[in-house]
Amino acid sequence: MTLPGAPYLSRRDGQLTLEDVALDALAHEFGTPLYVYSQAAMLGALAGYQRALAGRPHLVCYAMKANSNLAVLQTFARAGCGFDIVSGGELQRVIAAGGDVAKVVFSGVGKTRAEMKQALEAGVRCFNVESEPELEALSAVATAMGRIAPVSLRVNPDVDAGTHPYISTGLKGNKFGVAHQRAVEVYRHAASLPGLAVRGIDCHIGSQLTEVAPFLDALDRVLDLVEAIEAAGIPIHHMDLGGGLGITYTDETPPAADALLGALLARIDARGHGHRELVFEPGRSLVGNAGVLLTEVLYLKPGETKNFCIVDAAMNDLMRPAMYEAWMGIVPCAERSGGDVKTWDVVGPVCESGDWLGRDRALAVQPGDTLAIVSAGAYGMSMASNYNTRGRAAEVIVQGARARLVRERETAAQQFAGERLLED
């Protein structure tokens, strides 16, 4: 198979390497399961956005739900990024990583009043508001604090992103955003509320998009609204066009970031909106192909209808296959010369039939081998859990020939440190 993430992920002398580090060696040094990320791959992906937006007023806000490790956030903060957050906890991570809070946009359908207060005190750039009740709650919180909350409304353009239904967010049946046909009315309401200042408009139609057409369809509907809202006397200072650009897991061919943005910018200019500040919120496209999950083969269990390759990583470490039936590439870290290739279902130790990482994979493996699950940098560790009281994996960032531990492996004692026994 062609390895996604090239040139950062490659095979040299039979060894799978990320940048200049052999992954099998990292598995032996730090143990497994182990997430490993290439810093160069992350910055290389970001460069596509930065090239396309050069010379325009813009802000790239990394959608940190994809991967919220502090060292990953630090990498993007140092590169000039802002952050798209969806919780007060994510705001605390931005601050801990040295990010600029003035470059933070706060998204999400269910912000609590406590989170609103926290974000106002911190001085976030903008709230992406998704409903009228949320507008009213934010107005009340801001007024009580004597603050003005900058807001954008997330509009739902009713555009089919053509992706998995769980990660499609722009259809009228989704929970996200304000209905397109009611947007002008809701903007009037927002402009009338004390404690709020309308700053922009926001749109995000889904994740793992691989075609340009849905982005352009959504953009046209957003531009229609901008013109209608300003005709109603409400200025729009920025357009937040969200994220959602997909990556290659198997045979997908998403456009490069600069090609996608080039098409969007051409449409924006053609409609006379080239002067506006633009905000983008990429997540998966910045980190997805930058990461791998390493796992050790524990047992091989041939069967009548299925052969099972049992590994030490599980659905609690990588939820995407169980949750979305997602296909993730699985390759040996060290090639076996003349090995016996068989078809295996790669499964974990968790007590669920849904605990699988890959089905029907042709592999030449033996117990003790290290496998790499590739394109695992997004929605891997950030969705990990402690199901079956399993500690979350360690994480490493590679910088050239240097590997740095950026999260220690979680222990059982750390998991239940906040629990209390009953007192008789």
Q: Is 424 helix (H, G, I), strand (E, B) or coil?
A: coil
Determine if residue 281 is labeled as part of a ligand binding site. Answer: yes
**Global pTM value:** 0.94
State the Cα angle at 355 between 352 and 361, rounded to 5°. 140
Q: Which helix (H) or strand (E) holds 187?
A: helix 183-192
CA 134 to chain centre: 24
Q: What is the pLDDT of residue 158?
A: 75
Determine if residue 182 is labeled as part of a ligand binding site. Answer: no
Question: What is the full DSSP assignment across 15-26?
Answer: EEEETTEEHHHH
Residues in the chain: 424
pLDDT values of the chain reduced to their tens digit, one per residue, 424 residues: 567 766 799 999 999 999 999 999 999 999 999 999 999 999 999 999 999 999 999 999 999 999 999 999 999 999 999 999 999 999 999 999 999 999 999 999 999 999 999 999 999 999 999 999 999 999 999 999 999 999 999 998 877 555 444 444 444 556 567 888 899 999 999 999 999 999 999 998 888 999 999 899 999 999 999 999 999 999 999 999 999 999 999 888 999 999 999 999 999 999 999 999 999 999 999 999 999 999 999 999 998 899 999 999 999 999 999 998 999 999 999 988 777 899 999 999 999 989 999 999 999 999 999 999 999 999 999 999 999 999 999 999 999 999 999 999 999 999 999 999 999 8
pLDDT digits (tens, 9 = 90+) for 81-110: 999 999 999 999 999 999 999 999 999 999
- The residue extents of the domains of the chain are 9-38+288-415, 107-282
Q: How far apart are CA 210 and CA 214, in angstroms?
A: 9
Contact in structure between 289 and 248 (CB atoms under 8 Å): yes
Q: Looking at domain 107-282, which CATH architecture does it have? A: Alpha-Beta Barrel (3.20)
Q: What is the pLDDT of residue 19?
A: 97
Q: What is the pLDDT of residue 239?
A: 97
- 251: DSSP letter: S
Determine if residue 49 is labeled as part of a ligand binding site. Answer: no
Determine if residue 51 is labeled as part of a ligand binding site. Answer: no
Determine if residue 324 is labeled as part of a ligand binding site. Answer: yes
CATH superfamily of 9-38+288-415: Lyase, Ornithine Decarboxylase; Chain A, domain 1 (2.40.37.10)
Determine if residue 242 is labeled as part of a ligand binding site. Answer: no
Q: What is the pLDDT of residue 173?
A: 55
Longest pairwise C-alpha distance within the chain:
74
Catalytic residue check, 351:
yes
Neighbours of 408 (CB within 10 A): 12
Q: What is the pLDDT of residue 166?
A: 40
Determine if residue 283 is labeled as part of a ligand binding site. Answer: yes
Q: What is the pLDDT of residue 162?
A: 53
Between helix 183-192 and helix 213-231 the angle, nearest 10°, is 50
Q: In Å, how far are 16, 34, 72, 120 from 367, measured between CA atoms?
A: 18, 17, 32, 53
Within 8 A by CB and 6+ apart from 199, the residues are 126, 150, 151, 152, 236, 237, 238
pLDDT digits (tens, 9 = 90+) for 263-305: 999 999 999 999 999 999 999 999 999 999 999 999 999 988 9
Q: What is the pLDDT of residue 160?
A: 58
Q: What is the pLDDT of residue 174?
A: 61
Which tokens go with 276?
């506006």
Contact in structure between 110 and 157 (CB atoms under 8 Å): no
Contact in structure between 284 and 378 (CB atoms under 8 Å): yes
Q: What is the pLDDT of residue 175?
A: 57
Determine if residue 8 is labeled as part of a ligand binding site. Answer: no
